[in-house]
Amino acid sequence: MGNRAAKTALFDAFARAAKALASGRRIELLDVLANGERTVEALAGEVDLSVANTSQHLQILRQAGLISSRREGTSVHYRLAGPEVFELWRTLRSLAASRLAEVERLAAAYLGSRDELEPVTREELARRLQDGDLVVLDVRPATEYAAGHLPGAVSIPVGELRRRLAELPADREIVAYCRGPYCAFAHEAVGLLREEGYAARRLEDGLPEWQAAGLAVTGT
C-alpha cells in the first residue's frame, strides 16, 4: 500500500491548481490570455485592477503552473501555459452554467438576451467561410487580432466600430466574434450594426473555442 503522507501531498498538489482559480479576477485573466499573451500593464487595464494587484494574481497563476512568461526588454509577457489550461477554464464555466442558476441570470444582466442576436454556430460559419458570402468581423483589441484570428476576418475593435462603419459592405451579412461566450464585444457590435441597418449576427463563442475545435486560425 502506498505511503499515506505521499498520497496526501499528491492530492494537495492537485488542490493548488484549484486554489489558483478561487478568484474571479484570476479566471478573468485566464479568459483574456486565452486570446493571446499580454503584459501585466495591459492585463491590468483589461480587468480594471492596479498593476501591483494584477501582478500578484499572475504570480499565483504562474506558481500553480497555469501561465508562463517571457521577458522582452523591460517588459514581461504572460500567456497560458498550454491548451489544457483553456480546457480547464472552459470546463469550469460549463459546469458552473449547468449547476448554478445564478450564472445564466448574471450573464443576462451583463450581456442581455443572447438568443435575440441569433448566434452562428462554428460549423455554420466554417461552411460559409468557404462560400465567401459574408464578412467576418473581429471586434477584439487589435493586439489580440494580431496574435491570431479567423481566416479573412476584418479587424475593427468594438470601440472604433461606429466611426469605421463605412469600411463594411452594406449588402453582405456580417458575423462578429470576440473572446468567447461571455464576452460583451460581439453583442455590442451586433447591436450597433443592426441599429445602422446592417444584417449582423454573432458567433456563438469566440476565437479560443474556434481554435480548440481544430479550425484554421491565421496569425498564430
Catalytic positions, written as ranges: 178
Return the exposure string of 47-79: e unless at least 16 CB atoms fall within 10 Å of the residue's CB, then b.
Answer: bebeeeebbebbebbeebebbeeeeeeeeebbb
> If residue 163 lies in a helix (H) or strand (E), which one and from where to where?
none
| Other CB atoms within 10 Å distance of the CB of residue 124 | 14
Question: Quick one: CA dihedral 14, 56, 144, 119, positive or negative?
Answer: positive
| Other CB atoms within 10 Å distance of the CB of residue 119 | 20
| Other CB atoms within 10 Å distance of the CB of residue 122 | 17
C-alpha count within 13 angstroms, C-beta hemisphere, residue 128: 16
Could you tell me how many residues make up the chain? Answer: 220
Closest-CA residue to 42 (of 66, 16, 77): 77
- Residues 190 and 118: their CA atoms lie apart, in Å, by 10
